[in-house]
Structure 1
Amino acid sequence: MTSPGRLRERVTIEAPQRAGDGAGGWTIAWSQVATVWADVISFKGTELAEADRLEAREPFRVVIRHRGDVKSDMRLTWRGRVLDIRGAFDPDGRRRWLAIDCEERGR
């Protein structure tokens, strides 16, 4: 899948923290879970028409050392960019690597 020498980028894993807003709703704040070394692979971006406007979406695959706490409601930050996690999987089933499929929106 990858080699340790390819983990050259720093990414931060963030988890959502929901808090009541006092008016019956809630707001989301993001808390840092960990900053890890990663191999970040960019794929060709697309533009989709959404709500009568074009929205850019750029897909990424981020490979890190295996962790069991990465969930699809989390996000990654990398070089000032926010990447929404779409899914994470163990590519070889040996719990060495975690491949995270992400998407950056609105760039």
Structure 2
Amino acid sequence: MVTLDPGAFSHRLDLMTPVATPDGQGGATITYAFLARAWARVEPLSVSSSEEANGETFRVTHEIWLRARGDLVPGMRLVRGGRIFRLAGFRDPDETGRYTVCRCEEERP
């Protein structure tokens, strides 16, 4: 069983859900709508780099701990100020239904 100090949930994040709006040409524009605000624990995991056409790019991954939620889906975002974390996947770390650990990638605007 995972035990966490309640003080570890020290970041206030906005959970945003994707919303597809038809663009009138058969496609859609994706925007994000506010769903909830939650206290979280944010842990940086790794930084990797790769070369692309515009030069070197960096990928930063994080694990973000939340109290258990049943409404998460990959593609959602967790936002704190100007930082955006794209939700790639999630799990229950000890299968007790108390916490959800989200695997996220930080997006650069």
Q: What's the TM-score, normalizing by structure 1?
A: 0.90
1:52 to partner: Cα distance: 5.5
Residues 1-107 of structure 1: matches in 2 within 5 Å? 1=2, 2-51=4-53, 53-106=55-108
- How many percent of aligned residue pairs carry the same amino acid? 32
Aligned Cα RMSD in Å? Answer: 1.6
- Write the distance in 1 (CA, Å) between the matches of 2:50 and 2:81: 24
Q: Could you say if the C-alpha distance between residues 30 and 76 of structure 1 is closer, same or farther in structure 2, counting changes exceeding 3 Å?
A: same
- Write the distance in 1 (CA, Å) between the matches of 2:62 and 2:28: 30
SS at match of 1:5: helix
What do residues 23-42 of structure 1 show as CA deviations (whole Å, max 9, x unaligned)? Answer: 22210110011110001011
Q: What amino acid maps onto 1:10 in structure 2?
A: R
Gaps of 5+ in 1: none
Q: What amino acid maps onto 2:36 in structure 1?
A: A
Is the contact between residue 44 and residue 61 of structure 2 (CA under 8 Å) also seen in structure 1? yes
What do residues 34-82 of structure 1 show as CA deviations (whole Å, max 9, x unaligned)? Answer: 1100010112311122346322111101001000111112111123211
Q: How many residues align?
A: 107
Q: Could you say if the C-alpha distance between residues 51 and 105 of structure 1 is closer, same or farther in structure 2, counting changes exceeding 3 Å?
A: farther
- Write the distance in 1 (CA, Å) between the matches of 2:66 and 2:13: 9
- Write the distance in 1 (CA, Å) between the matches of 2:62 and 2:75: 16
- Write the distance in 2 (CA, Å) between the matches of 1:51 and 1:105: 18
